[in-house]
Homo-oligomer: A and B are copies of this chain.
Amino acid sequence: MTRITSLQVTDVRFATSLFLDGSDAMNPDPDYSAAYLVISTDAGDGLTGTGLVFTIGRGNDVQVAAIRRVAEHLLTSDVEDLLADMGATSRSLVYDSQLRWLGPEKGVMHMAIGAVINALWDLKAKRAGLPLWDLLGRMSPEELVELVDFRYFGDVLTRDEALDILRAAEPGRDERRERLLADGYPAYTTTPGWLGYDDAKLERLAKEAVADGFQQIKLKVGLDLDDDRRRLKIARDAVGPDVAIAIDANQRWEVDEAVAWVDTLAEFDLAWVEEPTNPDDLLAHAEIARAIAPIPVATGEHMANRVMAKQFLQADAVQVLQMDATRVAGVNENLAILLLAAKFGVRVCPHAGGVGLCELVQHLSMFDFVAVSGTTDGRMIEFVDHLHEHFVTPAVVTGGRYRSPLAAGSGAEMLAASVVGNTWTPE
């Protein structure tokens, strides 16, 4: 029997608000942070499982407390059992009825479950000597559906349908793996577009993005329409007509306001409109999507769980699904979301602005390409060039593409000095 010998949960914070990195219409001064979990065992292999939740500062200590409480569930278990049946492990955490009351399946407790599940996946991938995307991409359709919680999916996606999707993607897995290893996965960059940057910085970074090979950039909008027009013109002039520009309102608008605002900005040829309004409001997103079509609506970084994802897809409220690696209950729930997206034929372009989100979510998109949707058409992963230096195997983006990680694990592991050096303790 393998036991967990320690659970370390650390409150890691970076003072990003000093430079307005990450600033947008709803989040003027985020301090990018992570509640960071390290699981050690007595297996004698020296391997740890690492997971994290990305937050933007205050409250990261509450997230730490939540991860600690969830992770305690594992202390009496055999690690071999936990890793052997990750579907059962995930369900045992999600359906702890007392903890579930605090969501259910949303917010701090749900993200805590995600950190714990992801830490176990990190450990499992390290033990297998494979990067997570490749570990998942080598599992059979039958093994993969066992990871998914189909509860509340009866009206939309059954286990059999999920199996069909995964089986349809089996031919060509090897070829796609080779293509990934050779060419990587498309990326777009948000680095030029933070709302707190001045025009000169926007222009410079937009030109750099094109020079770096990105085919799409993203601008934060929604605070002032005149500013948005001016900034979009600067960006469009900087990148030229062939590079796509998406905009992101970070939940700033009412329905009518969103439609009118987008109408005024449409001349700049918008790749998508992201988070136009409250992220729970699928009916509002559906109304906005109908009104601004063919410009697609993108959302997902605050999508609380697979049941919300299901409804956004049912209601045609989202055309670009922005899966987030640490918002939901980990790899298992994101697999459910990838299957839903495949069922509805909606493209997935993950959210990755944050601490470790690029490192984590690239594995899910690459796995999706290998074994679920089988395509990168219209798909790309967000890239933001912040804070990667704190990770043991930072995401590598060159020529506008994520290079497939080769190191074993999920990518979540941080440098010891980065954890210790940025540890924050409430008063």
In the complex the two chains form, is A152's CB within 8 Å of B27's CB?
no
Main SS of chain A's interface residues?
loop
Q: Which residues of chain A in 151-181 are interfacial with respect to chain B, using CB atoms and an 8 Å cutoff?
A: 151-152, 154-155
In the complex, what distance in Å separates the CA atom of A305 from the CA atom of B61? 23
Are A101 and B55 CB-contacts (below 8 A) given A154-B256, A308-B280? yes
Q: Which residues of chain A in 249-285 are interfacial with respect to chain B, using CB atoms and an 8 Å cutoff?
A: 251, 254-257, 277-284
Complex interface: chain B residues within 8 A of A43 (CB): none
CB of A102 within 8 Å of the partner chain: yes
In the complex, what distance in Å separates the CA atom of A155 from the CA atom of B277? 12
Kindly identify which residue among B99, B109, B154, B255 contacts A255, using a CB–CB cutoff of 8 Å. B154
Interface digits, A43-66 against B, CB 8 Å rule (1 contact, 0 not)?
000000000000111110111011
In the complex, what distance in Å separates the CA atom of A278 from the CA atom of B150? 12
In the complex the two chains form, is A152's CB within 8 Å of B282's CB?
no
Q: Which residues of chain A in 65-108 are interfacial with respect to chain B, using CB atoms and an 8 Å cutoff?
A: 65-66, 69, 96-108
In the complex the two chains form, is B98's CB within 8 Å of A31's CB?
yes
In the complex the two chains form, is A97's CB within 8 Å of B56's CB?
yes
In the complex the two chains form, is B57's CB within 8 Å of A66's CB?
no
In the complex the two chains form, is B155's CB within 8 Å of A256's CB?
yes
CB of A403 within 8 Å of the partner chain: no
Complex interface: chain B residues within 8 A of A111 (CB): 102
CB of A356 within 8 Å of the partner chain: no
Complex interface: chain B residues within 8 A of A256 (CB): 154-155
Kindly identify which residue among B98, B106, B308 contacts A58, using a CB–CB cutoff of 8 Å. B98
Complex interface: chain B residues within 8 A of A401 (CB): none
In the complex the two chains form, is B154's CB within 8 Å of A97's CB?
no
In the complex the two chains form, is A281's CB within 8 Å of B62's CB?
no
In the complex, what distance in Å separates the CA atom of A282 from the CA atom of B308? 9
Number of copies: 2
CB of A374 within 8 Å of the partner chain: no
In the complex the two chains form, is B109's CB within 8 Å of A106's CB?
no
Kindly identify which residue among B27, B283, B302, B311 contacts A97, using a CB–CB cutoff of 8 Å. B27
In the complex the two chains form, is A99's CB within 8 Å of B58's CB?
yes
CB of A420 within 8 Å of the partner chain: no
CB of A307 within 8 Å of the partner chain: yes
Complex interface: chain B residues within 8 A of A63 (CB): 102
In the complex, what distance in Å separates the CA atom of A26 from the CA atom of B368? 33
- Across the interface, name the chain B residue whose C-beta is closest to A152: B278
Query: In whole Å, how far is A34's beta carbon from the nearest beta carbon of chain B?
Result: 12
In the complex the two chains form, is B62's CB within 8 Å of A30's CB?
no
In the complex the two chains form, is A283's CB within 8 Å of B315's CB?
yes
Query: In whole Å, how far is A275's beta carbon from the nearest beta carbon of chain B?
Result: 11
Please name 5 further chain A to chain B contacts, defined as beta carbons within 8 Å, in addition to the given A59-B99, A65-B65, A154-B255, sorted by A numbering.
Answer: A27-B97, A59-B101, A106-B304, A281-B310, A282-B311
- List 5 A-B pairs, minimum CB-CB distance, nearest first: A107-B107, A154-B254, A58-B98, A57-B98, A108-B108
Interface residues of A (CB under 8 A from B): 26-31, 55-59, 61-63, 65-66, 69, 96-111, 151-152, 154-155, 251, 254-257, 277-284, 287, 302, 304-305, 307-308, 310-311, 314-315, 426
Can you list 22 A-B contacts with CB-CB less than 8 angstroms, sorted by A residue number?
Answer: A26-B100, A28-B97, A59-B66, A59-B99, A59-B102, A62-B62, A62-B65, A65-B65, A104-B302, A106-B304, A107-B107, A107-B110, A108-B108, A154-B255, A154-B256, A155-B255, A155-B256, A280-B311, A281-B310, A282-B282, A283-B314, A283-B315
